[in-house]
């Protein structure tokens, strides 16, 4: 059974940093693109970032470029999102999502809440 | 900046058929946009329904289908069930980045 479990969320002050983790199980993690998607309270979904199997390619939505960095450790079946210079508008539930071989997304984690507030 | 648009809300009767659409402000949606569709019930994580225009996941009910229609991506629900009431989001690949639509709130009434 594919499972994606996010951790590392919480309350952080504006300008602060937070590192999210996503632990994967039930599939060969090193064979899949991985994504981060977020959802602000009461709002729609927003794709945030993705990373290729071997980290050779990464993509980010414009609003987080230069502030967020995604990485992975295939030996630990783990995906990470380092978030710096956090702003109130980064407040959201962050989901870890597996990429499909045909471009797309399939399995989602349960999500983790990040709140940026003083 | 690419904007992906969906109907904000739609209403359908139980047993009926409804199509949700997904358009891109930069031009027609094609198979190269790899349209994906997701369902989200209140308080739940999204669930993937369709990838690459019309491919279903193993868990996708047969009454859901994806297509391209008049330069847009479409998700059609046939024989709608009360449990299909949810928010639906499309996702398009635009210039190497993924962009979600604003979502459609589907009411079954």
Residue A10 confidence (pLDDT):
98
Burial of residue B89 (CB within 10 Å: 0-12, 13-18, 19+) is buried
CB distance from A95 to chain B under 8 Å? Answer: yes
pLDDT at B46 over 90: yes
Q: What are the start-end ranges of the H helices in B1-109?
A: none
pLDDT at B88 over 90: yes
d(CA B6, CA B1): 16
Q: Do B51 and A103 touch (CB under 8 A)?
A: yes
pLDDT at B95 over 80: no
The pLDDT tens digits for A20-75 are 999 999 999 999 999 999 999 999 999 999 999 999 999 999 999 999 999 999 99
Mean pLDDT of B36-40: 98
Nearest chain A Cα distance for residue B97, angstroms? 7
Q: Do A103 and B101 touch (CB under 8 A)?
A: no
Q: Is A47 in contact with B99 (CB distance < 8 Å)?
A: yes
Residue B6 — very low, low, confident or very high, per pLDDT cuts 50/70/90? very high
| Cβ-proximal residues to B46 (8 Å cutoff; 6+ apart), any chain | A37, A45, A95, A108, B38, B39, B40, B89
Partner A, chain B 18-77, Cβ-Cβ below 8 Å: 34, 36, 38, 40, 45-48, 51-52, 55, 57
Nearest chain A Cα distance for residue B74, angstroms? 16
Residue A88 — very low, low, confident or very high, per pLDDT cuts 50/70/90? very high
């Amino acid at each position: 059974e594919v499972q994606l479990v996010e951790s590392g969320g919480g309350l952080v002050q504006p300008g602060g940093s937070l590192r999210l983790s996503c632990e994967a199980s039930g599939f060969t993690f090193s064979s899949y693109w991985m994504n981060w998607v977020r959802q602000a309270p009461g709002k729609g979904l927003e794709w945030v970032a993705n990373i290729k199997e071997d980290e050779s390619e990464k993509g980010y939505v414009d609003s987080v470029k230069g502030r967020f960095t995604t990485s992975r450790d295939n030996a630990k079946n783990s995906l990470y999102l380092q978030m710096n210079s956090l702003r109130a508008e980064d407040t959201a539930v962050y989901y870890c999502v597996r990429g499909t071989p045909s471009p797309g997304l399939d399995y989602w984690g349960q999500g983790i809440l990040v709140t940026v507030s003083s | 900046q690419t904007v992906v648009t969906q109907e904000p809300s739609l209403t359908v009767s139980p047993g009926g058929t409804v199509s949700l659409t997904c358009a891109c402000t930069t031009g027609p949606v094609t198979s190269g946009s790899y349209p994906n569709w997701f369902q989200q019930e209140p308080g739940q994580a999204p669930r993937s329904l369709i990838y690459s225009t019309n491919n279903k996941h193993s868990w996708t009910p047969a009454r859901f289908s994806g297509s391209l229609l008049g330069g847009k991506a479409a998700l059609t629900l046939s024989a709608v069930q009360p449990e299909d009431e949810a928010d639906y989001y499309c996702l398009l690949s635009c210039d190497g980045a993924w962009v979600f639509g604003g979502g459609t709130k589907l009411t079954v009434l």
